[in-house]
Amino acid sequence: MLVVNRRLLLTTLSTGLRTPHLLPRSGIRFNSMSSSSDLPRVDFSQTETVGSTRWMRLETLSYHVAPDPNDASGDTLRKWDRAVRTTKKSEDAVDAVVILAILRYDLSDPSKDEIVCVKQFRPPVNGYTIELPAGLIDPNEDPAAAAEREFKEETGYIGKVLSVSPPSYLSPGLTNESACMVKMEVDMTLEHNAKNHERTESHDGLEGCEKDRGLEKLLLPKVGFLNALHDLQKKDGVKIFAALYSLALCLKVCKDTIITSQHPSKMFPLVNLETSVGVPPMEVAQKITTALKGSGFLILTAPELTSQLQKRAIRAASKILDTKQSSTVISHPTDPKIYAMLHGLDFNVDGDVSQDYIQDLKDWYGALRSTKDVLLRCIAIGLGMNEPDFFVNLHNEHNDSLRLLKYHPGDENTGNRCKEHSDYGTLTLLLTDGVGGLEAFVDGKWRSVPYIKDAVVVNIGSILSHWTRHELSATLHRVAAPASVGSNTLKKAVSVPRISLAYFADPNRDVSTTLQGQEELVGASDMNISEYIQWRSGGSGSDRDGVAFTSGEKDRLG
Ligand SMILES: O=C(O)CCC(=O)C(=O)O
Ligand SMILES: [Fe+2]
Protein backbone atom coordinates (compact mmCIF):
# COMPACT_ATOMS: atom_id res chain seq x y z
CA MET A 1 0.00 0.00 0.00
CA LEU A 2 1.27 3.47 -0.79
CA VAL A 3 1.10 5.82 2.12
CA VAL A 4 0.68 9.41 1.05
CA ASN A 5 2.32 11.88 3.38
CA ARG A 6 -0.45 14.20 4.59
CA ARG A 7 1.83 17.11 5.17
CA LEU A 8 3.22 16.79 1.65
CA LEU A 9 -0.28 16.79 0.19
CA LEU A 10 -1.30 19.87 2.10
CA THR A 11 1.82 21.72 0.98
CA THR A 12 1.12 20.69 -2.59
CA LEU A 13 -2.40 22.04 -2.40
CA SER A 14 -1.39 25.37 -0.90
CA THR A 15 1.34 25.97 -3.48
CA GLY A 16 -1.22 25.57 -6.26
CA LEU A 17 0.27 22.44 -7.81
CA ARG A 18 -3.06 20.68 -7.90
CA THR A 19 -3.62 21.22 -11.61
CA PRO A 20 -4.94 17.99 -13.17
CA HIS A 21 -2.22 17.63 -15.81
CA LEU A 22 0.41 17.43 -13.06
CA LEU A 23 -1.23 14.41 -11.50
CA PRO A 24 0.09 10.99 -12.50
CA ARG A 25 -2.60 8.56 -13.74
CA SER A 26 -2.69 6.65 -10.46
CA GLY A 27 -4.00 9.80 -8.79
CA ILE A 28 -1.12 9.81 -6.32
CA ARG A 29 0.66 13.13 -6.34
CA PHE A 30 4.41 13.45 -6.40
CA ASN A 31 6.17 16.71 -5.79
CA SER A 32 9.47 16.77 -7.64
CA MET A 33 10.16 20.49 -7.12
CA SER A 34 12.75 21.47 -4.60
CA SER A 35 10.99 23.38 -1.86
CA SER A 36 10.36 23.14 1.87
CA SER A 37 8.26 20.07 1.04
CA ASP A 38 11.58 18.17 0.54
CA LEU A 39 12.00 18.36 4.27
CA PRO A 40 13.06 16.71 6.46
CA ARG A 41 16.47 16.25 4.77
CA VAL A 42 19.98 15.47 6.01
CA ASP A 43 22.69 17.99 5.18
CA PHE A 44 25.70 15.68 4.81
CA SER A 45 28.11 18.62 4.49
CA GLN A 46 27.64 19.17 8.23
CA THR A 47 28.27 15.56 9.33
CA GLU A 48 30.68 15.27 12.25
CA THR A 49 32.65 12.09 12.89
CA VAL A 50 32.61 11.54 16.63
CA GLY A 51 34.77 8.42 16.67
CA SER A 52 35.99 5.73 14.37
CA THR A 53 37.46 2.19 14.50
CA ARG A 54 38.53 -0.22 11.80
CA TRP A 55 34.96 -1.36 11.22
CA MET A 56 32.69 1.36 12.42
CA ARG A 57 32.25 5.13 12.54
CA LEU A 58 30.02 7.09 14.88
CA GLU A 59 28.62 10.21 13.20
CA THR A 60 26.41 13.08 14.29
CA LEU A 61 24.17 14.10 11.42
CA SER A 62 22.47 17.45 10.92
CA TYR A 63 19.07 17.51 9.28
CA HIS A 64 16.55 20.19 8.46
CA VAL A 65 12.89 19.96 9.27
CA ALA A 66 10.00 22.15 8.04
CA PRO A 67 9.31 25.23 10.14
CA ASP A 68 6.84 24.62 12.92
CA PRO A 69 4.35 27.54 13.16
CA ASN A 70 4.04 26.84 16.91
CA ASP A 71 7.78 27.13 17.49
CA ALA A 72 8.62 30.82 17.90
CA SER A 73 12.39 30.17 17.73
CA GLY A 74 12.06 29.15 14.07
CA ASP A 75 14.75 26.53 14.67
CA THR A 76 14.67 23.92 11.89
CA LEU A 77 18.03 22.20 12.45
CA ARG A 78 18.10 18.86 14.25
CA LYS A 79 20.85 16.36 15.21
CA TRP A 80 20.92 12.55 15.09
CA ASP A 81 23.71 10.07 15.90
CA ARG A 82 24.29 7.06 13.70
CA ALA A 83 26.71 4.18 13.25
CA VAL A 84 28.15 3.60 9.75
CA ARG A 85 30.16 0.66 8.47
CA THR A 86 33.59 1.84 7.31
CA THR A 87 33.30 -0.68 4.46
CA LYS A 88 30.36 1.23 2.97
CA LYS A 89 31.33 2.71 -0.42
CA SER A 90 28.58 5.30 -0.73
CA GLU A 91 25.49 6.50 1.09
CA ASP A 92 23.21 4.20 -0.91
CA ALA A 93 25.52 1.19 -1.28
CA VAL A 94 24.12 -2.07 0.13
CA ASP A 95 26.28 -3.51 2.93
CA ALA A 96 25.17 -7.07 3.30
CA VAL A 97 23.01 -9.99 2.28
CA VAL A 98 20.63 -11.80 4.64
CA ILE A 99 19.72 -15.25 3.38
CA LEU A 100 16.42 -17.04 3.72
CA ALA A 101 17.36 -20.55 2.65
CA ILE A 102 14.86 -23.37 2.56
CA LEU A 103 16.15 -26.93 2.62
CA ARG A 104 13.96 -29.05 0.33
CA TYR A 105 14.08 -32.76 1.11
CA ASP A 106 11.07 -33.72 -0.99
CA LEU A 107 10.05 -31.32 -3.74
CA SER A 108 6.48 -32.63 -3.68
CA ASP A 109 6.08 -32.17 0.10
CA PRO A 110 6.80 -28.66 1.42
CA SER A 111 5.80 -29.72 4.96
CA LYS A 112 9.22 -31.39 5.28
CA ASP A 113 11.10 -28.15 4.47
CA GLU A 114 13.55 -26.69 6.94
CA ILE A 115 14.83 -23.15 7.39
CA VAL A 116 18.56 -22.70 7.76
CA CYS A 117 19.51 -20.56 10.77
CA VAL A 118 22.82 -19.85 12.42
CA LYS A 119 23.65 -19.60 16.08
CA GLN A 120 26.67 -17.55 17.11
CA PHE A 121 28.10 -15.50 19.94
CA ARG A 122 27.38 -11.79 19.41
CA PRO A 123 29.47 -9.52 21.68
CA PRO A 124 27.11 -6.49 21.44
CA VAL A 125 24.33 -8.50 23.11
CA ASN A 126 26.73 -10.57 25.23
CA GLY A 127 25.06 -13.79 24.24
CA TYR A 128 24.25 -16.31 21.57
CA THR A 129 21.83 -15.25 18.90
CA ILE A 130 19.82 -17.17 16.37
CA GLU A 131 19.83 -15.43 13.01
CA LEU A 132 19.53 -16.04 9.32
CA PRO A 133 22.85 -16.66 7.56
CA ALA A 134 24.25 -13.29 6.46
CA GLY A 135 27.43 -11.58 5.38
CA LEU A 136 28.97 -8.45 3.94
CA ILE A 137 29.04 -7.97 0.19
CA ASP A 138 32.63 -7.84 -1.12
CA PRO A 139 33.73 -4.86 -3.31
CA ASN A 140 32.36 -5.28 -6.87
CA GLU A 141 30.35 -8.35 -5.89
CA ASP A 142 26.64 -8.53 -6.69
CA PRO A 143 24.19 -9.52 -3.91
CA ALA A 144 23.25 -12.89 -5.45
CA ALA A 145 26.90 -13.94 -5.75
CA ALA A 146 27.59 -12.71 -2.20
CA ALA A 147 24.66 -14.77 -0.92
CA GLU A 148 25.86 -17.95 -2.64
CA ARG A 149 29.37 -17.45 -1.29
CA GLU A 150 28.37 -16.53 2.27
CA PHE A 151 25.83 -19.32 2.46
CA LYS A 152 28.38 -21.94 1.46
CA GLU A 153 30.95 -20.48 3.90
CA GLU A 154 28.57 -20.44 6.84
CA THR A 155 26.61 -23.64 6.28
CA GLY A 156 28.49 -25.76 3.76
CA TYR A 157 25.43 -26.08 1.50
CA ILE A 158 25.11 -25.05 -2.12
CA GLY A 159 21.89 -23.11 -2.67
CA LYS A 160 20.12 -21.71 -5.72
CA VAL A 161 19.14 -18.02 -5.57
CA LEU A 162 15.41 -17.56 -6.23
CA SER A 163 15.05 -13.82 -5.58
CA VAL A 164 16.91 -10.75 -4.31
CA SER A 165 15.06 -7.97 -2.50
CA PRO A 166 15.65 -4.23 -2.82
CA PRO A 167 17.86 -2.85 -0.01
CA SER A 168 16.17 -3.22 3.36
CA TYR A 169 17.24 -1.55 6.58
CA LEU A 170 18.12 -3.52 9.68
CA SER A 171 17.93 -0.91 12.44
CA PRO A 172 17.24 2.48 10.81
CA GLY A 173 17.13 4.39 14.10
CA LEU A 174 20.72 3.41 14.79
CA THR A 175 22.48 2.83 11.50
CA ASN A 176 22.19 3.13 7.73
CA GLU A 177 23.31 -0.49 7.43
CA SER A 178 21.30 -2.13 4.68
CA ALA A 179 20.91 -5.63 3.33
CA CYS A 180 19.32 -7.40 0.40
CA MET A 181 17.18 -10.32 1.52
CA VAL A 182 18.06 -13.25 -0.70
CA LYS A 183 15.72 -16.21 -1.00
CA MET A 184 17.46 -19.48 -1.73
CA GLU A 185 16.40 -23.05 -2.28
CA VAL A 186 18.68 -25.90 -1.24
CA ASP A 187 18.04 -29.17 -3.02
CA MET A 188 18.89 -31.82 -0.43
CA THR A 189 18.78 -34.57 -3.02
CA LEU A 190 22.02 -33.14 -4.54
CA GLU A 191 25.01 -35.25 -3.56
CA HIS A 192 27.04 -32.31 -2.20
CA ASN A 193 24.23 -31.13 0.08
CA ALA A 194 23.32 -34.61 1.28
CA LYS A 195 26.98 -35.27 2.18
CA ASN A 196 27.37 -31.97 3.97
CA HIS A 197 24.22 -32.76 5.91
CA GLU A 198 25.78 -35.83 7.47
CA ARG A 199 28.41 -33.71 9.15
CA THR A 200 27.77 -32.21 12.57
CA GLU A 201 26.50 -28.72 13.02
CA SER A 202 29.80 -26.84 13.45
CA HIS A 203 31.62 -27.56 10.24
CA ASP A 204 35.18 -27.19 9.10
CA GLY A 205 34.86 -24.41 6.52
CA LEU A 206 34.80 -21.57 9.06
CA GLU A 207 37.71 -19.27 9.58
CA GLY A 208 38.91 -16.56 11.95
CA CYS A 209 36.20 -14.54 13.55
CA GLU A 210 33.37 -16.92 12.59
CA LYS A 211 35.19 -19.84 14.20
CA ASP A 212 35.95 -17.76 17.33
CA ARG A 213 32.30 -16.93 17.71
CA GLY A 214 31.36 -20.61 17.60
CA LEU A 215 29.09 -20.19 14.60
CA GLU A 216 26.95 -23.24 14.05
CA LYS A 217 24.07 -23.97 11.74
CA LEU A 218 20.65 -24.87 13.07
CA LEU A 219 17.97 -26.41 10.89
CA LEU A 220 14.47 -25.59 12.07
CA PRO A 221 11.21 -27.00 10.67
CA LYS A 222 9.23 -24.60 8.48
CA VAL A 223 6.01 -26.02 9.97
CA GLY A 224 6.00 -24.98 13.64
CA PHE A 225 8.87 -22.53 13.10
CA LEU A 226 7.61 -20.03 15.68
CA ASN A 227 7.37 -22.72 18.35
CA ALA A 228 10.86 -23.95 17.50
CA LEU A 229 12.18 -20.40 18.09
CA HIS A 230 10.31 -20.12 21.39
CA ASP A 231 11.77 -23.48 22.48
CA LEU A 232 15.32 -22.37 21.68
CA GLN A 233 14.80 -19.11 23.48
CA LYS A 234 13.39 -20.86 26.54
CA LYS A 235 15.80 -23.79 26.71
CA ASP A 236 19.09 -22.26 25.51
CA GLY A 237 18.41 -18.58 26.24
CA VAL A 238 19.36 -17.62 22.68
CA LYS A 239 18.49 -14.12 21.51
CA ILE A 240 16.39 -13.96 18.39
CA PHE A 241 17.22 -11.78 15.36
CA ALA A 242 14.19 -9.53 14.75
CA ALA A 243 13.88 -10.37 11.04
CA LEU A 244 13.83 -14.05 11.89
CA TYR A 245 11.10 -13.57 14.46
CA SER A 246 8.97 -11.56 11.98
CA LEU A 247 9.38 -14.33 9.45
CA ALA A 248 8.19 -16.89 12.01
CA LEU A 249 5.19 -14.74 12.95
CA CYS A 250 4.24 -14.29 9.30
CA LEU A 251 4.39 -18.04 8.67
CA LYS A 252 2.12 -18.58 11.69
CA VAL A 253 -0.36 -15.87 10.69
CA CYS A 254 -0.58 -17.34 7.16
CA LYS A 255 -1.15 -20.83 8.51
CA ASP A 256 -3.88 -19.62 10.91
CA THR A 257 -5.56 -17.64 8.13
CA ILE A 258 -5.63 -20.65 5.82
CA ILE A 259 -6.99 -22.98 8.51
CA THR A 260 -9.64 -20.49 9.66
CA SER A 261 -10.79 -19.72 6.13
CA GLN A 262 -11.23 -23.43 5.50
CA HIS A 263 -13.15 -23.85 8.70
CA PRO A 264 -15.80 -21.16 9.16
CA SER A 265 -18.00 -23.17 11.60
CA LYS A 266 -20.00 -20.95 13.94
CA MET A 267 -21.17 -23.83 16.11
CA PHE A 268 -17.68 -25.23 16.74
CA PRO A 269 -15.41 -22.26 16.02
CA LEU A 270 -11.67 -22.59 15.68
CA VAL A 271 -9.88 -20.28 18.10
CA ASN A 272 -6.16 -19.65 18.44
CA LEU A 273 -5.30 -19.13 22.11
CA GLU A 274 -2.22 -17.08 21.09
CA THR A 275 -0.55 -17.44 24.49
CA SER A 276 0.26 -20.24 26.92
CA VAL A 277 0.88 -18.06 29.94
CA GLY A 278 -0.69 -15.08 31.62
CA VAL A 279 -3.74 -13.21 30.47
CA PRO A 280 -4.96 -13.74 26.91
CA PRO A 281 -6.18 -10.89 24.67
CA MET A 282 -9.78 -9.80 25.34
CA GLU A 283 -10.86 -10.69 21.81
CA VAL A 284 -9.70 -14.29 22.31
CA ALA A 285 -11.40 -14.51 25.74
CA GLN A 286 -14.67 -13.34 24.21
CA LYS A 287 -14.53 -15.76 21.28
CA ILE A 288 -13.89 -18.66 23.64
CA THR A 289 -16.63 -17.74 26.08
CA THR A 290 -19.17 -17.15 23.31
CA ALA A 291 -18.52 -20.63 21.89
CA LEU A 292 -18.70 -22.28 25.32
CA LYS A 293 -21.98 -20.49 26.03
CA GLY A 294 -23.34 -21.71 22.70
CA SER A 295 -22.57 -25.29 21.71
CA GLY A 296 -20.30 -25.76 24.76
CA PHE A 297 -17.61 -26.92 22.33
CA LEU A 298 -14.82 -25.22 20.43
CA ILE A 299 -11.69 -26.18 18.56
CA LEU A 300 -8.48 -24.77 19.88
CA THR A 301 -4.91 -24.22 18.74
CA ALA A 302 -2.41 -23.02 21.33
CA PRO A 303 1.32 -22.29 21.13
CA GLU A 304 2.26 -25.06 23.56
CA LEU A 305 0.08 -27.71 21.94
CA THR A 306 2.53 -28.27 19.11
CA SER A 307 1.95 -30.70 16.30
CA GLN A 308 5.06 -32.60 17.43
CA LEU A 309 3.74 -33.06 21.00
CA GLN A 310 0.36 -34.17 19.63
CA LYS A 311 1.92 -36.79 17.36
CA ARG A 312 4.05 -38.12 20.21
CA ALA A 313 1.06 -38.26 22.58
CA ILE A 314 -1.11 -40.21 20.11
CA ARG A 315 1.72 -42.67 19.44
CA ALA A 316 2.40 -43.11 23.17
CA ALA A 317 -1.30 -43.67 23.93
CA SER A 318 -1.54 -46.27 21.20
CA LYS A 319 1.57 -48.10 22.46
CA ILE A 320 0.43 -48.07 26.09
CA LEU A 321 -3.06 -49.30 25.24
CA ASP A 322 -1.51 -52.14 23.23
CA THR A 323 0.56 -53.30 26.24
CA LYS A 324 -0.19 -56.92 26.95
CA GLN A 325 -1.45 -57.91 30.39
CA SER A 326 -1.34 -54.44 31.87
CA SER A 327 -3.66 -53.75 34.78
CA THR A 328 -3.58 -50.08 33.74
CA VAL A 329 -5.50 -50.92 30.56
CA ILE A 330 -9.17 -51.64 31.21
CA SER A 331 -11.87 -53.00 28.89
CA HIS A 332 -14.97 -50.87 29.12
CA PRO A 333 -17.95 -52.95 30.32
CA THR A 334 -20.42 -51.65 27.73
CA ASP A 335 -18.67 -49.56 25.05
CA PRO A 336 -16.40 -51.28 22.47
CA LYS A 337 -13.23 -49.69 23.80
CA ILE A 338 -10.29 -50.04 26.14
CA TYR A 339 -8.95 -47.21 28.24
CA ALA A 340 -6.36 -46.18 30.82
CA MET A 341 -6.74 -43.41 33.39
CA LEU A 342 -3.59 -41.52 34.35
CA HIS A 343 -3.69 -39.12 37.27
CA GLY A 344 -1.31 -36.34 38.23
CA LEU A 345 2.18 -36.17 36.79
CA ASP A 346 3.46 -39.45 38.25
CA PHE A 347 1.88 -41.72 35.70
CA ASN A 348 1.99 -45.25 36.94
CA VAL A 349 1.71 -47.62 34.03
CA ASP A 350 1.86 -51.29 34.75
CA GLY A 351 3.51 -53.55 32.14
CA ASP A 352 6.41 -53.39 29.74
CA VAL A 353 6.19 -49.79 28.52
CA SER A 354 9.10 -47.66 27.31
CA GLN A 355 9.82 -44.67 29.53
CA ASP A 356 9.97 -42.58 26.35
CA TYR A 357 6.23 -43.06 25.88
CA ILE A 358 5.54 -42.13 29.50
CA GLN A 359 7.63 -38.99 28.96
CA ASP A 360 5.67 -38.15 25.79
CA LEU A 361 2.46 -38.26 27.81
CA LYS A 362 3.96 -36.23 30.64
CA ASP A 363 5.00 -33.56 28.14
CA TRP A 364 1.51 -33.51 26.66
CA TYR A 365 -0.04 -33.35 30.13
CA GLY A 366 2.28 -30.45 31.10
CA ALA A 367 1.35 -28.47 27.98
CA LEU A 368 -2.36 -29.04 28.64
CA ARG A 369 -2.00 -27.96 32.23
CA SER A 370 -0.77 -24.47 31.34
CA THR A 371 -3.22 -24.20 28.45
CA LYS A 372 -6.03 -25.06 30.90
CA ASP A 373 -5.10 -22.11 33.13
CA VAL A 374 -5.18 -19.69 30.20
CA LEU A 375 -8.57 -21.08 29.16
CA LEU A 376 -9.93 -20.68 32.69
CA ARG A 377 -8.73 -17.07 32.65
CA CYS A 378 -10.40 -16.52 29.26
CA ILE A 379 -13.66 -17.80 30.69
CA ALA A 380 -13.50 -15.56 33.77
CA ILE A 381 -12.70 -12.53 31.59
CA GLY A 382 -15.29 -13.48 28.96
CA LEU A 383 -17.96 -13.81 31.66
CA GLY A 384 -17.08 -10.29 32.87
CA MET A 385 -15.77 -11.42 36.28
CA ASN A 386 -13.58 -8.97 38.20
CA GLU A 387 -11.02 -11.59 39.17
CA PRO A 388 -9.41 -13.19 36.06
CA ASP A 389 -7.84 -15.88 38.26
CA PHE A 390 -11.09 -16.83 40.01
CA PHE A 391 -11.36 -20.26 38.33
CA VAL A 392 -7.57 -20.76 38.17
CA ASN A 393 -7.43 -20.48 41.98
CA LEU A 394 -10.08 -23.19 42.31
CA HIS A 395 -7.82 -25.49 40.24
CA ASN A 396 -4.43 -24.92 41.83
CA GLU A 397 -4.16 -28.51 43.10
CA HIS A 398 -4.12 -29.57 39.42
CA ASN A 399 -6.31 -32.63 39.98
CA ASP A 400 -6.41 -33.42 36.31
CA SER A 401 -6.50 -36.78 34.66
CA LEU A 402 -5.68 -38.05 31.24
CA ARG A 403 -7.84 -40.81 29.78
CA LEU A 404 -6.27 -42.77 26.95
CA LEU A 405 -8.87 -44.43 24.77
CA LYS A 406 -8.79 -46.94 21.97
CA TYR A 407 -12.02 -47.85 20.20
CA HIS A 408 -12.23 -51.23 18.48
CA PRO A 409 -13.07 -51.32 14.77
CA GLY A 410 -16.66 -52.21 13.93
CA ASP A 411 -19.08 -52.36 10.99
CA GLU A 412 -22.39 -50.84 9.86
CA ASN A 413 -24.18 -52.56 12.77
CA THR A 414 -21.96 -50.93 15.38
CA GLY A 415 -23.74 -48.36 17.55
CA ASN A 416 -22.12 -45.88 19.91
CA ARG A 417 -18.42 -46.38 20.50
CA CYS A 418 -18.84 -44.15 23.55
CA LYS A 419 -22.37 -43.63 24.81
CA GLU A 420 -23.82 -40.16 25.26
CA HIS A 421 -22.67 -38.34 28.36
CA SER A 422 -21.63 -34.98 29.70
CA ASP A 423 -18.17 -34.62 31.18
CA TYR A 424 -18.40 -34.19 34.92
CA GLY A 425 -15.43 -31.94 35.70
CA THR A 426 -14.88 -28.34 34.60
CA LEU A 427 -13.01 -28.42 31.28
CA THR A 428 -12.09 -31.20 28.88
CA LEU A 429 -9.34 -30.93 26.26
CA LEU A 430 -9.59 -33.76 23.74
CA LEU A 431 -7.00 -34.89 21.24
CA THR A 432 -7.91 -37.51 18.66
CA ASP A 433 -6.10 -39.28 15.85
CA GLY A 434 -8.51 -37.73 13.33
CA VAL A 435 -10.85 -40.72 12.95
CA GLY A 436 -14.37 -39.24 12.93
CA GLY A 437 -17.27 -40.02 15.21
CA LEU A 438 -17.33 -37.33 17.90
CA GLU A 439 -20.81 -35.81 17.95
CA ALA A 440 -22.37 -33.18 20.22
CA PHE A 441 -26.08 -32.72 20.84
CA VAL A 442 -26.74 -29.10 19.93
CA ASP A 443 -30.11 -27.47 19.13
CA GLY A 444 -31.93 -30.79 19.20
CA LYS A 445 -29.64 -32.70 16.84
CA TRP A 446 -26.49 -34.76 16.92
CA ARG A 447 -23.80 -32.76 15.09
CA SER A 448 -20.35 -33.93 14.05
CA VAL A 449 -17.58 -32.03 15.77
CA PRO A 450 -15.07 -31.37 12.96
CA TYR A 451 -11.53 -32.65 13.20
CA ILE A 452 -8.86 -30.01 12.61
CA LYS A 453 -5.28 -31.17 12.37
CA ASP A 454 -2.98 -29.79 15.09
CA ALA A 455 -5.98 -28.60 17.13
CA VAL A 456 -7.79 -29.99 20.18
CA VAL A 457 -11.47 -30.00 21.08
CA VAL A 458 -12.46 -28.11 24.24
CA ASN A 459 -15.74 -28.68 26.04
CA ILE A 460 -17.35 -27.77 29.33
CA GLY A 461 -18.10 -30.24 32.13
CA SER A 462 -21.08 -30.24 34.50
CA ILE A 463 -19.32 -28.52 37.41
CA LEU A 464 -18.32 -25.44 35.44
CA SER A 465 -21.70 -25.32 33.75
CA HIS A 466 -23.32 -25.44 37.15
CA TRP A 467 -20.96 -22.88 38.71
CA THR A 468 -21.82 -20.46 35.91
CA ARG A 469 -25.55 -21.09 36.38
CA HIS A 470 -25.56 -22.89 33.02
CA GLU A 471 -24.29 -19.85 31.15
CA LEU A 472 -21.67 -22.30 29.89
CA SER A 473 -23.09 -25.51 28.47
CA ALA A 474 -22.08 -29.02 29.55
CA THR A 475 -23.21 -30.45 26.25
CA LEU A 476 -24.01 -34.14 25.81
CA HIS A 477 -21.66 -35.85 23.41
CA ARG A 478 -20.75 -39.32 22.22
CA VAL A 479 -18.53 -41.18 19.81
CA ALA A 480 -21.01 -42.42 17.27
CA ALA A 481 -20.97 -45.14 14.64
CA PRO A 482 -23.36 -45.69 11.69
CA ALA A 483 -25.96 -47.54 13.81
CA SER A 484 -26.16 -44.75 16.45
CA VAL A 485 -29.57 -43.04 16.44
CA GLY A 486 -29.48 -39.84 14.38
CA SER A 487 -25.80 -40.28 13.57
CA ASN A 488 -23.83 -38.50 10.85
CA THR A 489 -20.84 -40.77 11.20
CA LEU A 490 -19.65 -42.66 8.15
CA LYS A 491 -19.01 -46.38 7.93
CA LYS A 492 -15.43 -45.59 6.95
CA ALA A 493 -14.76 -44.09 10.39
CA VAL A 494 -15.88 -47.15 12.30
CA SER A 495 -13.95 -49.60 10.12
CA VAL A 496 -10.67 -48.56 11.76
CA PRO A 497 -9.56 -48.30 15.41
CA ARG A 498 -9.77 -44.85 16.93
CA ILE A 499 -7.38 -43.34 19.48
CA SER A 500 -8.17 -40.35 21.67
CA LEU A 501 -6.73 -38.68 24.75
CA ALA A 502 -9.22 -36.84 26.96
CA TYR A 503 -7.74 -34.49 29.55
CA PHE A 504 -10.24 -33.76 32.30
CA ALA A 505 -9.66 -30.76 34.53
CA ASP A 506 -11.15 -31.22 37.99
CA PRO A 507 -11.24 -28.51 40.63
CA ASN A 508 -9.57 -28.70 44.05
CA ARG A 509 -10.90 -31.57 46.14
CA ASP A 510 -12.31 -29.56 49.04
CA VAL A 511 -14.22 -27.08 46.89
CA SER A 512 -17.94 -27.52 47.15
CA THR A 513 -19.89 -28.50 44.06
CA THR A 514 -22.13 -25.65 45.13
CA LEU A 515 -20.35 -22.33 45.08
CA GLN A 516 -21.63 -19.85 47.62
CA GLY A 517 -24.92 -18.22 46.72
CA GLN A 518 -25.89 -20.77 44.10
CA GLU A 519 -28.44 -23.51 43.91
CA GLU A 520 -27.01 -26.98 44.42
CA LEU A 521 -25.94 -29.21 41.55
CA VAL A 522 -28.94 -31.43 40.89
CA GLY A 523 -28.55 -34.73 42.69
CA ALA A 524 -25.23 -33.74 44.28
CA SER A 525 -26.39 -32.14 47.50
CA ASP A 526 -23.68 -31.47 50.05
CA MET A 527 -21.00 -33.30 48.11
CA ASN A 528 -17.50 -32.05 47.83
CA ILE A 529 -15.68 -32.49 44.54
CA SER A 530 -14.17 -35.87 45.51
CA GLU A 531 -17.54 -37.37 46.42
CA TYR A 532 -19.19 -35.88 43.38
CA ILE A 533 -16.56 -37.33 41.02
CA GLN A 534 -16.90 -40.71 42.68
CA TRP A 535 -20.66 -40.56 42.14
CA ARG A 536 -20.46 -39.46 38.51
CA SER A 537 -17.65 -41.74 37.39
CA GLY A 538 -18.70 -44.85 39.27
CA GLY A 539 -15.42 -44.85 41.17
CA SER A 540 -12.15 -46.31 40.06
CA GLY A 541 -13.37 -49.88 39.49
CA SER A 542 -13.90 -51.42 36.08
CA ASP A 543 -17.70 -51.68 36.30
CA ARG A 544 -18.16 -47.98 35.43
CA ASP A 545 -21.70 -47.77 36.78
CA GLY A 546 -21.47 -44.02 37.21
CA VAL A 547 -23.94 -41.35 36.16
CA ALA A 548 -23.55 -40.34 32.51
CA PHE A 549 -25.30 -37.01 32.89
CA THR A 550 -27.27 -35.05 35.44
CA SER A 551 -31.04 -35.04 35.28
CA GLY A 552 -31.06 -31.45 33.94
CA GLU A 553 -28.71 -32.45 31.14
CA LYS A 554 -30.89 -35.46 30.35
CA ASP A 555 -33.93 -33.17 29.98
CA ARG A 556 -32.02 -31.22 27.39
CA LEU A 557 -31.40 -34.44 25.44
CA GLY A 558 -35.19 -34.91 25.26
O1 LIG B 1 -12.97 -40.28 22.42
C2 LIG B 1 -13.55 -39.23 22.23
O3 LIG B 1 -13.43 -38.59 21.18
C4 LIG B 1 -14.45 -38.65 23.30
C5 LIG B 1 -14.24 -39.24 24.64
C6 LIG B 1 -15.08 -38.62 25.68
O7 LIG B 1 -15.96 -37.84 25.41
C8 LIG B 1 -14.82 -38.93 27.10
O9 LIG B 1 -14.05 -39.86 27.36
O10 LIG B 1 -15.38 -38.25 27.96
FE1 LIG C 1 -16.62 -36.81 27.18
Maximum CA extent, the chain: 91
282-293 and 355-382 helices, crossing angle to 10°: 90
CATH topology of domain 96-256: Nucleoside Triphosphate Pyrophosphohydrolase (3.90.79)
Cα 54 to ligand 1 centre (Å): 67
Instruction: For residue 273, report the phi and psi dihedrals to the nearest 5 degrees.
Output: -70, -20
The pick from 435, 479, 533, 553 for probing ligand 1's pocket by mutation, whose C-beta has the most ligand atoms within 8 angstroms, reads: 479
As for the ipTM of the complex, it is: 0.99
Ordered by start, the domain boundaries in the chain are 2-85, 96-256, 267-557
Superfamily of domain 267-557: B-lactam Antibiotic, Isopenicillin N Synthase; Chain (2.60.120.330)
CA distance 68 to 94: 34
> For a substitution probing ligand 1, which of 477, 478, 506 has the most ligand atoms within 8 Å of its CB?
477
Count of Cβ atoms closer than 10 Å to residue 382 Cβ = 22
Q: What is the pLDDT along the chain (558 residues), one digit of tens a residue?
A: 333 333 322 332 233 323 333 333 343 333 444 455 688 999 999 999 999 999 999 999 999 999 988 888 989 999 999 999 999 999 999 999 999 999 999 887 888 899 999 999 999 999 999 999 999 999 999 999 999 999 999 899 999 999 999 999 999 999 999 999 999 999 999 999 988 876 544 444 444 545 566 788 999 999 889 999 999 999 889 999 999 999 999 998 887 777 766 666 889 999 999 887 778 889 999 999 999 999 999 999 998 999 999 999 999 999 999 988 788 888 888 889 999 999 877 788 888 889 999 999 999 999 999 999 999 999 999 999 999 999 999 999 988 999 999 999 998 888 899 999 999 889 999 999 999 999 999 988 899 999 999 999 999 998 899 888 889 999 999 999 989 998 877 788 889 999 999 999 989 888 776 665 455 555 555 677 777 777 787 765 545 456 677 766 666 655
Residue located nearest, by CA, to atom 5 of ligand 1: 502
CA of 56 to the centre of ligand 2 (A): 64
For residue 432, give the ligand 1 atom closest to its CA. 3
Best of 401, 406, 418, 547 for a ligand 1 pocket test (most atoms within 8 Å of beta carbon):
418
Query: In whole angstroms, what is the distance from residue 557 CA to residue 443 CA?
Result: 9
- The whole-angstrom separation of Cα 369 and Cα 376 is 11
Is the bond into 124 cis (omega within 30 degrees of 0)?
Answer: no
> What's the residue count for the chain?
558
CA distance 253 to 377: 24
290 CA from centroid of ligand 2 (Å)? 20
Closest residue to atom 10 of ligand 1, CA basis: 423
In angstroms, the Cα distances linking 323 to 126, 349, 354, 361, 481 are 50, 10, 10, 15, 26
Q: How far is the CA of 205 from the centre of ligand 1 (A)?
A: 54
